[in-house]
Amino acid sequence: MRKLLRKIDAQATSDGDGVKIHRIGGRAMNQVLNPFLMLDEINSDDASDYIGGFPKHPHRGFETITYMKAGRMRHRDHMGNEGVINPGDVQWMTAGKGVIHSEMPEQGSGLLHGFQVWLNLPSAEKMRPAAYQEIRSADIPELIVDCSAKVRAIAGQVDVGDRQLTGPLPERSTRPTLLDVELRSHANLELKFNPDHAALVYVYRGATNSLQVTQLGLFSKGDTLELNAGGSGSSLLILSGRSIGEPIVQHGPFVMNTTDQIEQAVRDYQRNQFV
């Protein structure tokens, strides 16, 4: 069984044009979350908390994964990609050498609930060409377990009892697993995936026997992750991947391996040579 090693509370903050979020990230968390860099959650039915969105901005050196639970967001980037992600949809973007994009709410009222995860790239891939992919909710495999749990496999492969789910994305070098799990009151569930990689469990609704809402648990390597929901049930994002044993230097939207590479990214952006 995987063991709970550490609990981390998400911090309330804002980003973009005043969008209110809960965040787990920052330089102190880079090696803890490795190969992931950050997890943001937007969850509000007050339009003033999200209406400003995330106007045009750059990224270099990593991948972003946006997953919507409620509401709609529109993506535009310098490559000409444009699309709206709806509830249950995923946007997977490889910034690589450079992306300039915007993410804006496609609504003026109502609930907006979603996540953005930053996934690091190894040094050999940081300057690869940028890429963008949308995954519709209907293309994400899911499994109902004994009417007490639902598992969605966004990326990676997971065994649930005698059933196996495989996410729709081609495997990356970081071998990411990304699962969305919903548990009814007092439900128990065992999942098996990536036994040689640590696991991150973020609670976004309810609680488990060890984690509260907006809290992330770092679990050890192991064959089996056991989840036990509290009385009000629980909804969780589960992340796992191959740790990257390289230095991490982050400056805002740029994540590289050295300070010189960060300074080059800033110069490229200022001189309109970024993409």
Q: What is the CATH number of the domain that holds 150?
A: 2.60.120.10
Query: What is d(CA 201, CA 218) in angstroms, rounded to the nearest whole number?
Result: 7
Range of the domain at 83: 4-270
What is the pLDDT at residue 212?
98
What is the pLDDT at residue 67?
98
What is the pLDDT at residue 182?
98
Q: Is residue 137 part of a domain?
A: yes
Residue 40 tokens, joined = 């943001």
Could you tell me if 262 and 254 are in contact, meaning their C-beta atoms sit under 8 angstroms apart?
yes
Question: 154: closest CA among 180, 191, 129?
Answer: 180
> What residues in the chain have per-residue pLDDT under 50?
none
Q: Is residue 209 part of a domain?
A: yes
Q: Is residue 275 part of a domain?
A: no
Q: How many domains does the chain have?
A: 1
Q: Which residue's structure tokens are 């109902």?
A: 144
- Going through 10-61 in order, the beta strands assigned E by DSSP cover 11-15, 19-24, 36-44, 54-59
What is the pLDDT at residue 38?
98
Q: Is residue 227 part of a domain?
A: yes
What is the pLDDT at residue 169?
85
Q: pTM for the whole thing?
A: 0.97
Question: 239: closest CA among 136, 150, 158, 185?
Answer: 158
Q: Is residue 144 part of a domain?
A: yes
What is the pLDDT at residue 161?
93
Q: Is residue 187 part of a domain?
A: yes
Helix or strand (DSSP H, E) at 230: strand 225-240
Q: Is residue 10 part of a domain?
A: yes
Burial environment of residue 138 by CB neighbours within 10 A (0 to 12, 13 to 18, 19 or more): exposed
Q: Is residue 46 part of a domain?
A: yes
